[in-house]
Amino acid sequence: MNLNAIDSELLKTIADLHTIPTGAFNIRKDGRGVERKSTAHIQVKPKTDKPGIDIIVAPGTKNEAVHIPVLITLSGVTDVVYNTIEIGEGADVTVVAGCGIHNPGSEKSQHDGIHEIIVRKGARMKYVEKHYGEGEGTGERVLNPRTILIMEKDSSVEMELTQIKGVDSTVRDTKAKLAEGASLIIVERLLTHNRQKAESDMLIELEGERSSARIVSRSVAKDDSIQIFRPVVVAKAASKGHVECDSIIMDRGKISSSPAISAEHPDAQLTHEAAIGKIAEEQLIKLETLGLSEKEAEDVILRGFLQ
Amino acid sequence: MLKIKSLSLDILNGSGDISILKNIDLELENDKFYALTGPNGGGKTSLARVIMGIYKNTQGKLYLDDTDITDFNITERAKAGISYAFQNPPRFKGLKVRDLLKISSNGGHETAYARLRAVGLCPQDYLDRECDSSLSGGEIKRIELATVLSRPSKVVIYDEPEAGVDLWSFEKLLGLIKKYHSRGGVTSIVITHHEKVLTLADEIILMADGEIKERGSRDKIWNMLQGDFRCRWQQDCGGDEDELECY
Ligand SMILES: Nc1ncnc2c1ncn2[C@@H]1O[C@H](COP(=O)(O)OP(=O)(O)OP(=O)(O)O)[C@@H](O)[C@H]1O
Ligand SMILES: [Mg+2]
């Protein structure tokens, strides 16, 4: 596959890829799979009944990564894709997903990624997903990821979900079910600007004893953008959960955060916190006393906050 | 040289304007080490913040080496060579000690490393720590000092560098402040309640009620502190030391 300059830039931004990856991968562009590779332990194959792929990581696979970036470089594309990822027993792998839209025209370009992820007994997965939009056109850039995560006994998952910038509208829906001893960390970072709108719903169900989840959402709403967060953790067993939403609001932005916890077992331990506020004045002042301009100081604080 | 002429600061709060600094005239020379002291609420931090440009003075003028800096904003004053180590340094979520020191030393990683060592914090342990509320009071004060010592300055104001710093380390930090001072061309102003700093200073400035009450040698000011200024809070409230009781 030949990557043009736009493809390369997008890949670099959403997947830290500078060339075609060495391990297993699948690159999807403008609604079609353009290239893929399986390795000895990681199988990547297209679905036969609907658009999308199955990724099967063999039990015990260690220190391998699979990249599954999605690129949209045309205006007026609506791409719906179903991916199933199975991480075999005792494996320890990284999955780098992500979607970059370069919309050059005036029509809407949209990607709806529906992921079903099963993490088998004792397996570990790090899941990194970056969303990014750009393009000189006026067409909307829309990303609606839907993720269903099934975690078996003693599995562990760390998810980093990031929306860097340039996505006009996003509705995220993340659901997870955790069995005994499973542990989940989700870190969501979101920046919206202009008239963008971002909604994120999460439902994390702690079904097994000793399971634990920690959900951290950090966001910045600039200009006239709107953000809505509704993370919910439900404990159905003796388990632990924590939800945290921390947002910086700027300009005429609007943010609504409603983390919720619900316990259905007397030994559940759940906490939540939410904060929305402007950049603390003293932080700006401190950086200005070190010689930064107000704008530079603001950038440093926002970058740090979303890091 | 820093020159302050007929400076006043009023701050607007709920019940109208309150006068924080009143008619301050002050000339501070290059290569001199000043201690600025006086009772709590006397206006020391406010004066420092006016010099740094954080508060905009209501009246008066400020000059740095004959340049009128009255209308300079914070950034411009920082670039002109004024530095201020905060009494209560802010904390930053997500910003690492490394990042903060890199900014203060204008990108120099070497300087960041060396400055951290100089304030007695092991770079290996602290460079990657976040400057958030997980740092202890003394740690954040030392990092604050490190940010200021990474910069070339003509005027440096240290706002109670001793606060929260343990006894053993304070001697060292004071030595460091002195060393920075002895590079030459620096006016150092240490806001302090610490006797040791008063002893080291070339001159002591005594502030109370938003005014400069006196300037002079340690002996002269010490006598005033022991006399007029002793127990002034009790007198103001009409009480005396005997009122303190154990419950
Ligand atoms: N933003 C403000 N709004 C209202 N009052 C203020 C403000 N800033 C300072 N003050 C008041 O001005 C007075 C001087 O405060 P300042 O912090 O300058 O005192 P200080 O001499 O540094 O005291 P300390 O030794 O306790 O640090 C105090 O009475 C304080 O309450
Ligand atoms: Mg003070």
Kindly give the confidence (pLDDT) of every residue in chain B, 247 residues in length, as a single tens digit, with 9 standing for 90 and above: 999 999 999 998 888 889 999 999 999 999 999 999 999 999 999 999 999 999 999 999 999 998 999 999 999 999 999 999 999 999 998 899 999 999 998 766 677 888 899 999 999 999 999 999 999 999 999 999 999 999 999 999 999 999 999 988 888 999 999 999 998 899 999 999 998 899 899 999 999 999 999 999 888 888 777 776 655 554 555 555 555 555 5
Q: Report how far residue B81's alpha carbon sits from residue B83's, in angstroms, rounded to the nearest whole number.
A: 7
If one counts the domains in chain A, the total is: 2
Indicate which residue's Cα is closest to atom 24 of ligand 1: B40
C-alpha dist (Å) from residue A229 to A113, A244, A247: 19, 11, 10
Contact check, Cβ <8 Å, B147/A290? yes
* Confidence at residue B226, expressed as pLDDT on a 0 to 100 scale: 75
Contact check, Cβ <8 Å, A283/B74? no
DSSP designation for B47: H
Q: Does residue A144 lie within any of the structural domains?
A: no
Least Cα separation, residue A189 to chain B (angstroms):
12
> Closest Cα partner for A214 from A234, A259, A190, A184?
A184
Q: Does residue A203 lie within any of the structural domains?
A: yes
First vs last C-alpha separation in chain A: 33
What torsion, rounded to 10 degrees, do the Cα atoms B201, B206, B212, B214 define?
A: -90
**Is the CB of residue B225 below 6 angstroms from any atom belonging to ligand 1?**
no
Instruction: For residue range A273-290, list pLDDT tens digits in order.
Output: 999 999 999 999 999 999
Instruction: For residue range A225-260, list pLDDT tens digits in order.
Output: 999 999 999 999 999 999 999 999 999 999 999 999
* Confidence at residue B168, expressed as pLDDT on a 0 to 100 scale: 86
B36 Cα to the center of ligand 2, angstroms: 10
**Is the CB of residue B153 below 6 angstroms from any atom belonging to ligand 1?**
no
Are the beta carbons of A83 and A90 closer than 8 angstroms?
no
* Confidence at residue B239, expressed as pLDDT on a 0 to 100 scale: 57
**Is the domain of A32 the same as that of A113?**
yes
DSSP designation for B93: S
**Which pLDDT band holds residue A15 (cuts at 50, 70, 90)?**
confident
Domain that holds residue A77: 1-128
- Angle separating helix axes B137-149 and B109-118, nearest 10 degrees: 130
Are the beta carbons of A176 and A211 closer than 8 angstroms?
no
**Is the domain of A70 the same as that of A176?**
no
Indicate which residue's Cα is closest to atom 19 of ligand 1: B41
Q: What is the CA radius of gyration of chain A?
A: 20
Contact check, Cβ <8 Å, A291/B79? yes
Q: Does residue A147 lie within any of the structural domains?
A: no
Q: Which residue of A has its CA nearest to B153?
A: A290
Q: What value does the mean pLDDT of chain A take?
A: 95
Q: What is the CA radius of gyration of chain B?
A: 19
**Is the domain of A230 the same as that of A101?**
no
- CB proximity list for B226: less than 8 A, separation 6 or greater: none
Indicate which residue's Cα is closest to atom 2 of ligand 1: B11
Contact check, Cβ <8 Å, A293/B92? no
Ligand 2 is an ion; its neighbours by CB within 5 Å are B 44-45, 87
**Is the CB of residue B20 below 6 angstroms from any atom belonging to ligand 1?**
yes
* Confidence at residue B246, expressed as pLDDT on a 0 to 100 scale: 53
SS3 of residue B8 by DSSP: strand
Mutate to test the pocket of ligand 1, among B17, B45, B55, B158 (most ligand atoms within 8 A of CB): B45
SS3 of residue A28 by DSSP: strand
Q: Report how far residue A95's alpha carbon sits from residue B183's, in angstroms, rounded to the nearest whole number.
A: 54
- CB count within 10 Å of CB A85 equals 24
Rounded to 5 degrees, φ, ψ at A38 are: -105, 160
> Closest Cα partner for A200 from A241, A239, A237, A159?
A159
* Confidence at residue B229, expressed as pLDDT on a 0 to 100 scale: 64
* Confidence at residue B237, expressed as pLDDT on a 0 to 100 scale: 56
User: What ipTM does this complex have?
Assistant: 0.92
One-letter amino acid at B238 equals G
* Confidence at residue B158, expressed as pLDDT on a 0 to 100 scale: 97
Q: Where are the domains of chain B?
A: 2-87+154-237
Indicate which residue's Cα is closest to atom 30 of ligand 1: B41
* Confidence at residue B223, expressed as pLDDT on a 0 to 100 scale: 79
- The burial class, CB within 10 Å (0-12 / 13-18 / 19+), for B100 is buried
* Confidence at residue B15, expressed as pLDDT on a 0 to 100 scale: 82
Q: A18-22, A42-46, A55-59, B189-193: which range is least confident on average?
A: A18-22
Q: Does residue A295 lie within any of the structural domains?
A: yes
Residue ending a domain, among A108, A128, A148, is A128
B31 Cα to the center of ligand 2, angstroms: 24
Interface of B with A (CB under 8 A): 52, 54, 73-75, 78-79, 83-84, 86, 89-90, 92-96, 99, 103-104, 106, 147, 151
Are the beta carbons of B98 and B68 closer than 8 angstroms?
no
Interface test with B, best of A191, A289, A302, A306 (most B CBs within 10 A): A289
Q: Which fold has domain B2-87+154-237?
A: Rossmann fold (3.40.50)
Interface of A with B (CB under 8 A): 218, 246, 280, 282-283, 285-294, 300-301, 303-307
* Confidence at residue B219, expressed as pLDDT on a 0 to 100 scale: 83
Mean pLDDT, residues A38-65: 96
- CB count within 10 Å of CB A59 equals 14
Q: Does residue A150 lie within any of the structural domains?
A: no
The single residue listed with the structure tokens 């003693």 is A154
**Is the CB of residue B41 below 6 angstroms from any atom belonging to ligand 1?**
yes
- CB count within 10 Å of CB B1 equals 15
Q: Where are the alpha helices (DSSP H) in chain B?
A: 44-52, 74-80, 97-104, 109-118, 123-126, 137-149, 167-181, 195-200, 218-226, 232-236
* Confidence at residue B225, expressed as pLDDT on a 0 to 100 scale: 76
The model's pTM: 0.85
Least Cα separation, residue A218 to chain B (angstroms):
10
**Is the domain of A202 the same as that of A121?**
no
Indicate which residue's Cα is closest to atom 28 of ligand 1: B41
Q: Report how far residue B221's alpha carbon sits from residue B28's, in angstroms, rounded to the nearest whole number.
A: 17
Q: Does residue A77 lie within any of the structural domains?
A: yes
* Confidence at residue A1, expressed as pLDDT on a 0 to 100 scale: 63
SS3 track for B141-210? HHHHHHHHHCCCCCEEEEECCCCCCCHHHHHHHHHHHHHHHCCCCCEEEEECCCHHHHHHCCEEEEEECC
